[in-house]
Amino acid sequence: MKRACIFLCVGFFFVFQAAAQSAHFKYAVIPENPRPGEPVTIGVNDTVKQAVLFANEKQLAKAAFFSVSLPEGMPGFMAAVLTVPSTVSPGAYTIKLENDSVLICEIPLTITEREFVSEVIELNSDLTAIRTEPDPQKTAEANRLWAILARTGNEVYFSGKFIPPVSSTRRTSFFGDRRVFKYSNGKSDTSIHAGVDYGVPTGTRVLACGSGKVLLARGRIVTGNSVVIEHAPGIYSLYYHLDKIEVKENAMVTAGDLLGLSGATGLATGPHLHWEIRVSTENTDPDAFVGRSIIDKDLILSKIYR
């Protein structure tokens, strides 16, 4: 009789604990039905380490949570931003919120349909060489850029909406274009376009799409004169093929500040600005954060503290 009571009490304790946990833990997912290539912002009212996007048991993307502070007297929260890879098919997926390997919560996510443009790009012998010839300097530059994009800082320099980096709306390539490169030697290769290309003349003013810290401002073999800005943990904007760079590495910039003048340096078939957004290393549709804030604080607060 005594033993039965102990089991009963322990049982009640766990039921009570589970109820308390589920009543307390709240999350917000924005948007609830993303398309391939679009970022998803997750806000939570408790401590969580990472968000991982799964297709069944296969991991597709992940992002670390960071603290978002609010004016004094308001409760802060934690946020993570991950991007649905542009190669993902529409359907039902799961975001798992984890503390180390402990599962905190599973969130169902429906990814909707999206079509991408196909294009063929013919490269002359010089551009073919840039893309195909092995070069230790090219490898070192790729490793250096990856080290920047893969790090997750702590600072939220910017959480609002991006502004387009040029005033022109003329685009010569779109995010996620399925590309075939035709080389001068008759061979070919495929790739997916990681950003958007603005067809603007050399010398066009290129502006920071949001405030942040300049982590790279230098010439690179493939992308020419390049600038990379960190806006928030894991969230970066990149500007390629500039004719001239007007900022220094480690400088702080404000949205709208001049970064440089557009050009056709590196692997470019003509003058244009390549503008790219990376979220936790994944290529992300740059238009997504023009249309909505990276972290919509009011919307998140309304969902997790209601």
Based on the shown chain and the rule CB under 5 A, indicate whether residue 177 belongs to the binding site for Zn ion. Answer: no
Let me know: does 269 contact 130? Beta carbons within 8 Å.
Answer: no
Q: How far is the CB of 141 from Zn ion (least distance, A)?
A: 17
For Zn ion, which stretch binds (CB under 5 A), given 140-148, 207-215, 271-279, 281-289? Answer: 271-279
Query: Smallest distance from the beta carbon of 134 to Zn ion, in angstroms?
Result: 22
Which one of 96-104, 195-203, 243-251, 252-260 is the stretch in contact with Zn ion (CB under 5 A)? 195-203
Q: Which of 35, 213, 231, 274 binds Zn ion (CB under 5 A)?
A: 274
Q: How many CA atoms lie within 13 A of 190 on its CB side?
A: 5
Tell me the CA distances in angstroms from 60 to 42, 83, 90, 100, 281, one per residue in order: 16, 9, 13, 17, 12
Phi, psi of 34 (to 5 degrees): -75, 160
38 is a contact residue toward Zn ion (CB under 5 A): no
Q: How many CA within 13 A on the CB side of residue 247?
A: 28
Do the Cβ atoms of 178 and 192 come closer than 8 Å?
Answer: yes
Point out which span in 79-87, 137-145, 226-234, 273-281 binds Zn ion (CB under 5 A): 273-281
Among 38, 141, 177, 197, binds Zn ion (CB under 5 A): 197
Name residues contacting Zn ion, limited to 97-156 (CB under 5 A).
Answer: none
> Residue 15: helix, strand or coil by DSSP?
helix
220 belongs to the binding site for Zn ion (CB under 5 A) = no
154: left (phi over 0), alpha (psi -120 to 50) or beta: alpha
Q: How far is the CB of 36 from Zn ion (least distance, A)?
A: 18
Residues that bind Zn ion (CB under 5 A): 197, 274
